[in-house]
């Protein structure tokens, strides 16, 4: 069995080498800082701590309690919230906790549509449907690449949802929460914002501020524009103690047991680093996204929302139907070490998810490894050579790998300039 284990190890090393050579633009990924990565490898990984600090079901949690208290304090400080729960083990896990806390089977809730960029957990075939809820979708304005304001107000007033969910996986522009305030007040909905993709931009003051714009709670994964471990979190200003208690118990024992203590600790490191570096990091992410959008547009790509400056977030959306579609383009780019994902566009049928019209690009990881606006021209040119000019991917890939050699270190963290893809050997096999 040693051979099998070593095979897995070798594949993991090959994966690391792939990304050492690649331009990574998956909008939902990022790199851990060296300090956070170190914490991930500690004995915390081996332990359990069901419950909350001071109310554990296991012994041996003296230092775990101190860590969790500190991480919770950092979360509340970064997001200026009254309440934070740092136990969810993913963004979807956090979403499930909110659903279990505030709804019951048969309730109707309002949600964005998947084709318009919503996360699958808000769909009938995702966590919302698994909870037995009836989702009603907001109308979407394709020209604005945002929710249709009048139509969304009408939907809220008509449905009177127990819970109104906002938040997307394709998030170009801030949600107009302020415009919905009167509707929220009249129907008495809980207002929930899924900040998974834009949490780091929100915390850096470069997107919007949902908890001050009408949202009662935010859920998030913690490894996108917020460059932490793969984990989850809830921050909130609950309307009352009853809501606070429901959220707490929906997390545990509701939707998780142990909360992956090493990732929770690494999250705390990431939060501390974001308090220190987040504003500068978030600003550069958005600058890079706008620059990449412009560079792609100038090279013949149909980048959505051109009249609005393409984006106000880390994300860009490109319509590549005339160049073979999202499946073809993403696979061709991957052969040249350019990692993106195919993505539904608002006019696509949800059943075409495996062969959609578009590509989704993110600049948060490019920014993390030190790229600036001028580098986005090189990235756009590589993409043009593959998708539009149809050059041989392996040939372009050689140029991509050579370009990437200049971007091998992690920035916006306490160990600025540490090599991003070098991992020490832990065993002498």
Distance CA 234, CA 74 (A): 13
Q: Does residue 424 have a pLDDT over 90?
A: no
Other C-beta atoms lying within 10 Å of the C-beta of residue 167: 27
Query: What integer pLDDT is reported at residue 427 of this predicted model?
Result: 54
Query: What integer pLDDT is reported at residue 170 of this predicted model?
Result: 84
pTM value? 0.95
Q: Judging by DSSP bridges, how do beta strands 315-319 and 302-303 pair with one another?
A: antiparallel
**CA distances, 30 to each of 230, 251, 363, 373, 390 (Å):** 9, 25, 10, 19, 29
Interhelix angle 261-298/62-79, rounded to 10 degrees, is 30
Distance CA 189, CA 223 (A): 29
Q: Does residue 191 have a pLDDT over 80?
A: yes
> Hey, do 2-29+278-419 and 35-273 end up sharing a CATH topology, with the first three levels equal?
no
Please write the tens of the pLDDT for every residue from 294-320: 999 999 999 999 999 999 999 999 999
Distance CA 421, CA 32 (A): 11
Please write the tens of the pLDDT for every residue from 24-43: 999 999 999 999 999 999 99
E strands of 224-337, at which residues? Answer: 227-236, 302-303, 315-319
Contact, 333 vs 339, CB < 8 A? yes
Instruction: Give the tokens for residue 60.
Output: 């041996």
Q: Does residue 426 have a pLDDT over 60?
A: no
Q: What is the topology classification, in CATH, of domain 2-29+278-419?
A: 3.90.1150
DSSP state of 138: P
Query: What integer pLDDT is reported at residue 425 of this predicted model?
Result: 54
Closest C-alpha among 30, 309, 350 to residue 196: 30
Query: What integer pLDDT is reported at residue 117 of this predicted model?
Result: 73
Span of 231-245, 342-356, 408-422 with lowest mean pLDDT? 342-356
Assess if CATH 3.30.2090.10 describes domain 35-273.
Answer: no
Please write the tens of the pLDDT for every residue from 207-228: 999 999 999 999 999 999 999 9
For range 175-184, the mean pLDDT:
94
Element (H, E) at 5: helix 2-21
Please write the tens of the pLDDT for every residue from 61-92: 999 999 999 999 999 999 999 999 999 999 99
Query: What integer pLDDT is reported at residue 6 of this predicted model?
Result: 93
Query: What integer pLDDT is reported at residue 199 of this predicted model?
Result: 98
Element (H, E) at 222: strand 217-223
Beta bridge partners of 109: 135, 163
**CA distances, 275 to each of 8, 288, 345 (Å):** 37, 21, 34
CA Rg, the chain, in Å?
22
DSSP state of 212: G
Residue ranges covered by each domain of the chain: 2-29+278-419, 35-273
Contact, 367 vs 288, CB < 8 A? yes
Q: Does residue 44 have a pLDDT over 80?
A: yes
Distance CA 151, CA 13 (A): 50
Beta bridge partners of 147: 140
Please write the tens of the pLDDT for every residue from 143-156: 899 999 999 999 99
Q: Does residue 171 have a pLDDT over 60?
A: yes
């Amino acid at each position: 069995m040693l051979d099998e284990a070593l095979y897995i190890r070798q594949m993991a090393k090959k994966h690391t080498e792939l990304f050492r050579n690649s331009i990574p633009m998956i909008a939902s990924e990022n790199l851990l800082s060296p300090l956070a990565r170190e914490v991930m490898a500690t004995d915390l990984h081996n332990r359990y701590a069901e419950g909350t600090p001071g109310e554990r079901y296991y012994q041996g949690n003296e230092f775990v309690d101190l860590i969790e208290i500190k991480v919770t304090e950092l979360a509340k400080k970064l997001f200026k919230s009254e309440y934070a729960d740092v136990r969810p083990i993913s963004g979807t896990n956090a979403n499930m906790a909110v659903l279990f806390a505030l709804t019951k089977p048969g309730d109707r809730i309002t949600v964005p549509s998947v084709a318009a960029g919503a996360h699958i957990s808000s769909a009938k075939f995702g966590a919302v449907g698994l909870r037995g809820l009836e989702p009603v979708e907001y109308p979407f304005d394709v020209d604005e690449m945002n929710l249709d304001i009048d139509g969304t107000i009408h939907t809220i007033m008509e449905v009177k949802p127990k819970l109104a969910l906002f938040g997307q996986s394709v998030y170009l522009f801030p949600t107009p929460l302020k415009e919905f305030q009167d509707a929220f007040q009249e129907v008495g909905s809980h207002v929930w914002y899924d900040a998974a993709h834009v949490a780091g931009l929100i915390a850096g003051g470069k997107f919007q501020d949902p908890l001050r714009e009408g949202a009662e709670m935010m859920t998030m994964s913690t490894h996108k524009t917020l460059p932490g471990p793969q984990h989850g979190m809830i921050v909130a200003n609950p309307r009352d103690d009853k809501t606070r208690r429901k959220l707490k118990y929906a997390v545990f024992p509701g939707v998780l047991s142990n909360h992956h203590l090493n990732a929770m600790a690494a999250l705390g490191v990431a939060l501390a680093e974001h308090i220190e570096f987040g504003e500068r990091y978030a600003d550069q992410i958005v600058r890079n996204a706008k620059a990449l959008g412009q560079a792609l547009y100038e090279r013949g790509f149909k980048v959505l929302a051109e009249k609005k400056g393409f984006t106000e977030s880390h994300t860009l959306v490109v319509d590549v139907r005339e160049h073979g579609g999202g499946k073809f383009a993403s696979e061709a780019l991957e052969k040249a070490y350019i990692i993106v994902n195919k993505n539904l566009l608002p006019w696509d049928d949800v059943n075409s998810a495996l062969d959609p019209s578009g590509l989704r690009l993110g600049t948060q990881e490019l920014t993390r490894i030190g790229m600036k606006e001028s580098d986005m021209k090189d990235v756009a040119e590589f993409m043009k050579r593959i998708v539009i000019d149809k050059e041989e991917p392996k040939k372009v890939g050689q140029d991509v790998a050579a370009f990437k050699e200049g971007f091998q270190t992690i920035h916006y963290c306490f160990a600025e300039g540490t090599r991003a893809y070098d991992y020490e050997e832990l065993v002498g096999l």
